[in-house]
Structure 1
């Protein structure tokens, strides 16, 4: 029989035993522009760097592989800009593309909450016999994506795959389920584990998904991802 973390109450429990229905959480689906989201990421990683324009924000935003010192950012960006100009034909075109890309209001999957943030729809649960916890936080609501990462239990700081494990999803009808191993967003994009920015690794799940965390020498942790509903008149009924 699978083990699952024991939590004091439903408000703080991120993971539900698989024989119970998933917790329902109510979310505000107001989006932000990609420019806002990219700037927040840049400020976290490079607090002393001031982007000159949209090109700087576009090239330095989430997903880039720059991990050098802040004093080397401008030279790195200028080199990337020259490559894009060569490909697109002119600097004016690159600047237009960057501005158009960053302007839409959108939802982003993989945007991590600040350490210490907890409570619906962000949940943290200690992993038995470990100094780490699993953290669940919302991804894009439209595609029903939830995210998972690993954090230090005492500090809340995220870490990349801090121990040997496999994360699996149980799929299909309940009578004939099948399982699928889940890779992180970064590994699925072809980034080698050693090249992932420290603390950036993220796994993408789905609302209501049943998952298994398997570790050698430990019992399997089985949990169900929360389900979100929009903040509407009917949301009150979902809470109850």
Structure 2
């Protein structure tokens, strides 16, 4: 069977595309023939075969405007937006450790970049009558960890609700909107966390991974997902092969969430 994804020449924006899942998405879509523009606070040198990089802080309105302008100048339009950017720097300590600044950071990192980029670029998709938007959420919007991820989980829940509402509005106009909800993914940051926990507990890296999996209530698959596995799912969902899919959320967590 020919499983060409039909992405040759598609104009793509990936937010947060230099590390982890974002970098895997960029690489996968490039290999499928797409033209990819991506953003990060610090970027590597541009190569002839790589993506178009834009240095921007998407937690700010100014950073989003810089990326929007680059899409117009470098791509001349947009077919696919993959909003990957997210994360949390909040301290442990539960609700009491979260002041207004921590809450604002969670919202500005995990919700507002998608809102701003969609608001500016979606009109082009509506004009052409086609396009795909993917919002990368998290299983933590249904399975939060109160000790350390309350604000992050709440912001991802807001992103999921926003995404669902957007899909109901624009799917009849030809633009598909989809959510991808990863569980624990073995990114560079996750490796550092597991190693730190391992060092604190006097065990090895595999022991550190077990600590994290236990905190999540277990991963039936027995391991975290790989960034490439998430990227492969996203590549399929943005392709014409998935043209009947919109408004839904795809969980990729090795069975972590106990109920659908």
Common topology (TM > 0.5): no
Higher relative contact order (CA 8 A, sep 6+): 1
Bigger-Rg structure (1/2): 1
Per the shorter chain, which TM-score range? Answer: under 0.3
- With structure 1 as the length reference, what TM-score do the two structures score? 0.22
Question: Which has a greater percent of helix?
Answer: 2
Question: Which has a greater percent of strand?
Answer: 1
